[in-house]
Structure 1
């Protein structure tokens, strides 16, 4: 015996069946997206290396800037130092947040600057080029290019007035020159748009500050 349903019930069943099929498609699509997850840089990527090394570089610039701000009376230099400190602290915070988002450690056993090894070699004295040794880029103290030594930082802490201004400008110009080269490598080698964008901003911003600081140094 064949059960015959009223027309309206048939329509309801068809609608419910369609809804169920759509729900299954939506669930499968959602599950696929969840399982795939976002694509993040890995720990040996140029993106991660840039974020780690530039954070360290920036943190020292912040330290030097806050030291000199307390040791000089020249308002122009105090303003510049404070601006550098604020800018680089904010950028360091961005890079810290990236590594957290990418679920990567803030530090790595990978040698400093090794992420630059795949570069074209067109970033000045710092650029290694493919296959180069990361250790060859570091100073004799094992520091990244542009980084002040412990002795130099102690001298800056002890200096006052014009002596402090001159030492800070010399150290920070050198620091920025190295930062510009690192940023140029970041622009070339990073895979993520957010890293390339910040690296470009660092490159142009620090180059402008170098020009300004050289002018102040000449006035001294």
Structure 2
């Protein structure tokens, strides 16, 4: 004879778990998959040099700094996805968050293989030291350590907004963020020696280019302009 359901059984099977718990588990799964892909790709590419990339190399610096850069984008994208009432903004947030979370997983997988720290141990952007490299700093009163990154004050403002104001400010911050990210990706594509790193950099350029076009269009539709970008 079946045992009657207890209150704990009913609560465990409830379809109304907090979305943050479900999304957190999904994000962890995507990161794990991305890291696995990164570990599988790194040793198999025919362009892999004989020596493992070391601290200060383009490959390690790109993986460390771009992971930090991407994770801020994921934070902003997830906020917009959860709080915007505009389906176009929510979908854009979902797309950016999903894509960049998987890419972070790949980069962290490489760093694990290369026995390097997941976080940069010194200043950001020191790997961009060859011709064309640059280190953009914020002029808005905060410390955006990499090109396009939002300051603490800007993130706080984003969280304080709602409705159309939230949508516009998210688009402005994310567009500027993408501009900085594509600068970094282009440099890595031009200078990295590891084939898998160049492939990821190209993937970032291919995905963020159309997204920037889309964000500019969404801003125009809402009567807004992009933020200045150095």
- TM-score normalised by the chain length of structure 1: 0.74
Looking at structure 2, the residues matched to 108 and 73 of structure 1 have their Cα atoms a distance apart, in angstroms, of 37
2:159 paired residue number: 157
Task: Identify which range, 67-76 or 90-99, moves more after superposition.
Answer: 67-76
Please say if residues 68 and 157 of structure 1, whose CA atoms lie closer than 8 Å, have aligned partners that are also in contact: no
Query: Which structure 1 residue ranges, 5 or more long, are not aligned?
Result: 1-37, 122-126, 129-133
Output the CA distance in 1 between the equivalents of 2:182 and 2:144.
Answer: 20
More helix by share: 1
Separation in 2 of the partners of 1:82 and 1:46? Answer: 29
Gaps of 5+ in 2: 1-49, 223-230
Q: Name 1:198's counterpart in structure 2.
A: 200
Bigger shift: residues 194-203 or 102-111: 102-111
Distance 1:181 1:106 in 2: 21
The total of aligned residue pairs comes to 170
In structure 1, distance between residues paired with 2:61 and 2:157: 30
Q: Please, what is the CA RMSD of the aligned residues?
A: 1.3
In structure 1, what is the Cα distance between the partners aligned to 2:105 and 2:174? Answer: 20
So what's the TM-score if we normalise by structure 2?
0.71
1:108 is matched with which residue? 120
Partner of 1:147: 149
Aligned equivalents of 1:199, 1:80: Cα separation in 2: 20
Question: What does residue range 20-39 of structure 1 map to in structure 2 within 5 Å?
Answer: 39=51
1:73 CA drift (Å) = 0.8
Q: Whose Rg is larger?
A: 1
